[in-house]
């Protein structure tokens, strides 16, 4: 059963079409013009839209554009009395699915609608498949047999089905994103998208438009209207990583969507309804940020309906052996090696370490040991753990921004590259500051705690030649 929107200013024409298509078992919704169609498109999902070209308040092409703005998988069929070749060509070029002329042959309309719905279903299925593929690439299950991890898995299972907002806290590399994905995977939203955004990685103004979308002309550079991530995640899950870094303005908007499920694109007064489950994460103490006035208290309580805290690895060393086992096998597989495990001596060596980068750091250490270790078991010396500053800069020499852009290779991973640049700058600043983090932080205009967080994230402090702290896929 498909849902079809019929847009035509002539009521009699709509009636004929409805009668004709109802026999196919479709759900039919009528709009008498562009404005009405727009309002319906915002509120409801359609499989196909059948539109007239000439209407008092807009054209079929306007309807087509409105459809594409809301959900480009919806197929649009033109049905018009002014069937010029030019219009047919233009509408097809803009992405219309089919073009029919009035007076119409009932059979031709039924066939066109059926094919349009088929195309829509295929496109949507494709999107689901894509997200399934992403899921397959997912790091997978939450490992760890310690009591803390068992309780965590239990919590994730119970929380997943509820639809409530969850606040996930913990140090870098403890698995906050892993937990967020697990919640989505175990929820009834699993067939819809899981979208993640790092709120700390985009500028204030950009973050608002990323999250809520914008209208054409809302700011310089906004040459097209755009839906934001809340609209994209409709009926799915939106993961707000580093939520503590949100601006006050974005916090106010987030509060509104959590309270009423309503958003407004930047520069627009139209209210749109979205059904999105929000999961948030931060490595900071959010209560502290509330006390300091940087984070809204009301928002804090909305987010922390269900709080989940991930303990650092050093507090659950019981997990180390299992983690090493599963992760080495997984990494060895990716490296096309036969699996090798750390020896008892190596495990003891690792147990004495504080793991500021937590599980991510352990993964990177294991990868390095598997590449460089020469024995059938991984040895303590394969895991260099001293915390001395000089790391390996990610770039061979300093490049200007233009030079970097000039050298854009055939393909590159922007996120990974930016992370490498960030790491290289941190390392350089730390070297210049003779290993004094506070001083290095000042050079980069960062707070001491931000610097410490990033240094841990990138495993800065691992000696020369060691893992560069960046995660491999
Ligand atoms: N309990 C766990 N079991 C298996 N893998 C884990 C676990 N915890 C973390 N990892 C792995 O460690 C890496 C880091 O995890 P993740 O990205 O979820 O950390 P995070 O808490 O979001 O860190 P950050 O604050 O730096 O963003 C990932 O590759 C993840 O798969
Ligand atoms: Mg993360």
Q: Is the CB of 282 under 6 A from ligand 1?
A: no
Per the rule left: phi > 0, alpha: psi between -120 and 50, beta: everything else, 416 is alpha
Measured from the Cβ of residue 341, the count of other Cβ atoms closer than 10 Å reads 17
Q: Which atom of ligand 1 is nearest to the CA of 168?
A: 21
Q: Is the CB of 170 under 6 A from ligand 1?
A: yes
Q: Which atom of ligand 1 is nearest to the CA of 283?
A: 25
How far is the centre of ligand 2, averaged over its atoms, from the C-alpha of 178 (Å)?
8
CATH 3.40.50.2300 fits 3-124, yes or no: yes
Q: For the CA atoms of the chain, what is the radius of gyration?
A: 27
Picking from 342, 354, 283, the residue whose alpha carbon sits closest to that of residue 317 is 354
Q: Ligand 1, from 137, 312, 360: best to mutate by most atoms within 8 Å of Cβ?
A: 360
Q: Ligand 1, from 134, 140, 174: best to mutate by most atoms within 8 Å of Cβ?
A: 174
Look at residue 394 and give its three-state secondary structure. coil
What are the Cα distances from residue 272, in Å, to 196, 231, 237, 259? 21, 9, 17, 14
Q: Is the CB of 284 under 6 A from ligand 1?
A: no
Q: Is the CB of 243 under 6 A from ligand 1?
A: no
CA within 13 Å, CB half, 436: 7
Beta-carbon contacts of 56 under 8 Å, excluding residues fewer than 6 positions away, are 9, 33
Picking from 9, 89, 101, 2, the residue whose alpha carbon sits closest to that of residue 49 is 2
* Strands 262-263 and 166-170, sheet pairing: unpaired
Q: Is the CB of 176 under 6 A from ligand 1?
A: yes
- Report the nearest-CA residue for atom 16 of ligand 1: 175
Residue 384 has what DSSP assignment? -
Residue 375 buriedness (CB in 10 A; 0-12 / 13-18 / 19+): exposed
Q: Ligand 1, from 178, 281, 471, 473: best to mutate by most atoms within 8 Å of Cβ?
A: 178
| DSSP output for 9-56 | S-HHHHHHHHHHHHTTT-EEEEESSHHHHHHHHHH---SEEEE-SEET
Q: Is the CB of 461 under 6 A from ligand 1?
A: no
Q: What are phi and psi of 358, to 5 degrees?
A: 50, -140
Q: Which atom of ligand 1 is nearest to the CA of 180?
A: 18
How far is the centre of ligand 1, averaged over its atoms, from the C-alpha of 102 (Å)?
59
The tens-digit pLDDT sequence of the chain (473 residues) is 799 999 999 999 999 999 999 988 899 999 999 999 999 998 888 999 999 999 999 999 999 999 998 888 899 999 988 767 788 888 888 889 998 988 888 899 999 999 999 999 888 877 666 655 544 445 568 999 999 999 999 999 999 989 899 999 999 999 999 999 999 999 999 888 999 999 988 888 889 999 999 998 888 888 888 899 999 999 999 999 999 999 998 999 999 999 999 999 999 999 999 999 999 999 999 999 999 999 999 999 999 999 999 999 999 999 999 999 999 999 998 888 888 999 999 999 999 999 989 999 999 999 999 998 899 999 999 998 854 333 333 333 445 566 567 667 667 778 777 888 888 889 888 888 878 888 888 888 888 888 888 888 887 864 333 333 344 33
Q: Ligand 1, from 170, 173, 181, 281: best to mutate by most atoms within 8 Å of Cβ?
A: 173
Residue 255 buriedness (CB in 10 A; 0-12 / 13-18 / 19+): middle
Q: Is the CB of 382 under 6 A from ligand 1?
A: no
Q: Which atom of ligand 1 is nearest to the CA of 281?
A: 22
Q: Is the CB of 234 under 6 A from ligand 1?
A: no
Dihedral angle computed from the Cα positions of residues 101, 102, 105 and 107, in that order, rounded to the nearest 10 degrees: 70
Look at residue 98 and give its three-state secondary structure. strand
Q: Which residues of 385-395 are buried (b: 16+ CB within 10 A; e: fewer)?
A: beeebebbbbe
CATH for 138-311, options being 3.40.50.300, 3.30.830.10, 3.40.190.10, 3.40.640.10:
3.40.50.300
pLDDT of residue 332: 92
Q: What share of the chain is helix, strand, coil (3-state, %, to 5)?
A: 50, 15, 40
Q: Is the CB of 21 under 6 A from ligand 1?
A: no
314-382, CATH topology level? Helicase, Ruva Protein; domain 3 (1.10.8)
Residue 245 has what DSSP assignment? G
Residue 462 has what DSSP assignment? B
Q: Which atom of ligand 1 is nearest to the CA of 179?
A: 18
Domain locations along the chain: 3-124, 138-311, 314-382, 386-473
Return the ligand number nearest the Cα of 171. Answer: 1
Domain range 386-473, CATH architecture: Orthogonal Bundle (1.10)
Q: Is the CB of 148 under 6 A from ligand 1?
A: no
Q: Is the CB of 359 under 6 A from ligand 1?
A: yes
Instruction: Please give the helix or strand (H or E) that residue 255 lies within, else none.
Output: helix 248-260
In the sheet that holds 306-310, the strands lie side by side as: 194-198, 237-241, 277-282, 166-170, 306-310
Q: Is the CB of 143 under 6 A from ligand 1?
A: yes
CA distance 214 to 229: 11
CA distance 5 to 18: 10
What are the Cα distances from residue 215, in Å, to 16, 42, 222, 223, 263? 36, 14, 7, 8, 13
pLDDT of residue 226: 87
- Report the nearest-CA residue for atom 26 of ligand 1: 172
pLDDT of residue 225: 87
How far is the centre of ligand 2, averaged over its atoms, from the C-alpha of 111 (Å)?
48
386-473 shares the fold of 138-311:
no
Task: With beta carbons less than 8 A apart as the criterion, state whether 150 and 318 touch.
Answer: no
Task: With beta carbons less than 8 A apart as the criterion, state whether 467 and 365 touch.
Answer: yes
């Amino acid at each position: 059963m498909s849902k079809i929107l019929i847009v035509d200013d002539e009521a009699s024409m709509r009636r004929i079409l409805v009668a004709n298509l109802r026999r196919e078992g479709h759900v039919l919704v009528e709009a008498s013009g562009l404005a009405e169609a727009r309002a319906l498109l915002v509120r409801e999902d359609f499989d196909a839209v059948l539109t007239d070209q000439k209407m008092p308040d807009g054209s079929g092409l306007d309807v087509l554009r409105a459809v594409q703005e809301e959900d480009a998988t919806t197929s649009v069929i033109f049905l018009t009395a002014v069937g010029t070749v030019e219009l047919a060509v233009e509408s097809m070029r803009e992405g219309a699915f089919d073009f029919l002329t009035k007076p119409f042959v009932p059979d031709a309309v039924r066939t066109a609608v059926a094919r349009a719905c088929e195309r829509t279903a295929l496109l949507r299925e494709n999107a689901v498949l894509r997200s399934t593929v992403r899921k397959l690439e997912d790091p997978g299950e939450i490992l760890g047999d310690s009591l803390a991890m068992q309780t965590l898995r239990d919590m994730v299972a119970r929380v997943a089905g509820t639809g409530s907002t969850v606040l996930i806290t913990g140090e870098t590399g403890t698995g906050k994103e892993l937990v967020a994905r697990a919640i989505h995977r175990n929820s009834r939203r699993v067939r819809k998208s899981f979208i993640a955004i790092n709120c700390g990685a985009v500028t204030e103004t950009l973050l608002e438009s990323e999250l809520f979308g914008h209208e054409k002309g809302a700011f310089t550079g906004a040459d097209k209207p755009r839906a934001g991530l809340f609209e994209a995640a409709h009926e799915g899950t939106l993961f707000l990583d580093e939520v503590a870094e949100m601006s006050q303005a974005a916090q106010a908007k987030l509060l509104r969507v959590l309270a009423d499920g309503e958003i407004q694109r930047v520069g627009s007064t139209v209210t749109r309804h979205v059904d999105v489950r929000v999961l948030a994460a931060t490595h900071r103490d959010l209560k502290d940020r509330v006390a300091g006035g940087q984070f809204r208290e009301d928002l804090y309580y909305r987010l922390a309906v269900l709080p989940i805290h991930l303990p650092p690895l050093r507090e659950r060393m019981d997990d180390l052996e299992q983690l090493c086992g599963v992760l080495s096998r997984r990494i060895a597989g990716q490296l096309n090696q036969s699996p090798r495990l750390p020896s008892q001596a190596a495990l003891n060596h690792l147990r004495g370490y504080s793991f500021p980068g937590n599980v991510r750091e352990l993964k990177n250490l294991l990868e390095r040991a598997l590449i460089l270790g020469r024995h059938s078991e991984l040895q303590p010396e394969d895991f260099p753990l001293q915390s001395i500053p000089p790391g390996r800069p990610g770039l061979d020499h300093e490049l200007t921004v233009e030079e970097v852009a000039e050298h854009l290779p055939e393909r590159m991973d922007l996120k990974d590259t930016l992370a490498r640049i960030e790491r290289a700058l941190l390392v350089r600043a730390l070297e210049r500051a003779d290993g004094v983090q506070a001083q290095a932080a000042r050079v980069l205009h960062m707070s001491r705690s931000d610097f410490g967080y990033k240094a841990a994230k990138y495993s800065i402090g691992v000696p020369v030649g060691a893992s560069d702290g960046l995660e491999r896929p």
